[in-house]
Amino acid sequence: MGSMFFGQYLLSKGAINREALIDAIERQRSTNLSLVELAVRDGCLEPQRAEGILTRYRTTDAGLKELCLEYGQIDREKLDELRRIQKSVWVRIGAALVASGHLTRDQIDEHLAAFYEVQHEASQRLEADFRACSDPETVKTFVELSVFYLKRFTNGPVKLQTLTEDGGALSSGRRRYAQKLVGDRELFCALDLPSQVATVVAQGFIGVPVEDDSEVAIDAVCECVNIIGGHACTRLEASGFRLRPEPPFSTEGDEPAGDLRSSTCARVMAGDDEVDVRVFV
């Protein structure tokens, strides 16, 4: 069993059905607000300025707290107050399932204990898989950055599940968004996304609705890959690698799978959808 969300684990064990999980997630969404959303609701942050903060948050590695302090005209005392409010009302999926009457507190505690054990084992397997792949540092850097930014672009839960090596073929129903990194060596990094995930990523990045598979959506996701690739080059430079990103591109085929030695594929859950994060070396 690979790494998964607690809700997925409960589904896999038959402890809840899908309707119960959706009910709990909707309860979370109505309660769990970000610092920016709380600040707008509290009247200490204008919606237009809030959108500017969220744009910066989606496209950088800065945290919401520091961005609110820098751009939001909120002092640290007010921000600490908002964080206390956020913590006091934040609902985890287990608590949402209990509040909805789908499970008892004792049942949640029992399942959580088993879940943590399973996830600890899955985490150890992933670490071993990273060490065993053909270029551990590069692969781990790009995969971790991809998971980090997919969370920000989709504003939803994202979790690394498995890591394997394969020929790099594009799965049916997905589009590849890739970038070549050159310098001391040559490699490609790619996100293989279903259309619905690509649309969410594009909308999260540019902040406005876009049509599925439109040129605007494709360009936006390519720019997301460019951000990930650029940060990967910067992080790897600290290890002595000199790399620079070339312009990102998108394809419905397997390029560049046929030209390189191998592909390491990280299977990632983005909400309810599976995506592939790939490194070709």
pLDDT at 28 over 60: yes
Which carries the bigger pLDDT value, residue 261 or residue 137? 137
Residue 56 has pLDDT above 70, yes or no: yes
pLDDT tens track for 197-237: 999 999 988 888 999 999 999 999 999 999 999 999 999 99
Closest C-alpha among 151, 171, 148 to residue 235 = 148
pTM of the predicted structure, to 2 decimals:
0.88
| Confidence at residue 262, expressed as pLDDT on a 0 to 100 scale | 75
Q: What is the mean pLDDT of residues 240-261?
A: 85
Does 46 score more than 70 pLDDT?
A: yes
Question: At 64, is the secondary structure helix, strand, or coil?
Answer: helix
Please report the DSSP string for 227-279 in residue order.
HHHHHHHHHHHTTT--EEEPPPEEESS-TTGGGSS-EEEEEEEETTEEEEEEE
Q: Whole-angstrom Cα distance, residue 90 to residue 212?
A: 33
133-280 homologous superfamily: CheC-like (3.40.1550.10)
C-beta separation of 133 from 139 below 8 A:
yes
Q: How much is the pLDDT for 12? A: 92
What pLDDT, on the 0 to 100 scale, is given for residue 51? 85
The structure tokens listed for 68 are: 């609110």
Of residues 69 and 140, more confidence is placed in 140
- Give the whole-angstrom CA distance, residue 58 versus residue 208: 13
Contacts of 165 (CB under 8 A, 6+ apart): 133, 134, 262, 263, 264, 265
Give 220's DSSP letter. H
The pair of three-digit structure tokens given for residue 4, joined into one six-digit string: 């998964």
Tokens representing 85?
């409010």
Q: Does the pLDDT value for residue 1 go beyond 70? A: no
pLDDT at 52: 86
For residue 278, list its beta bridge partners. Answer: 190, 265
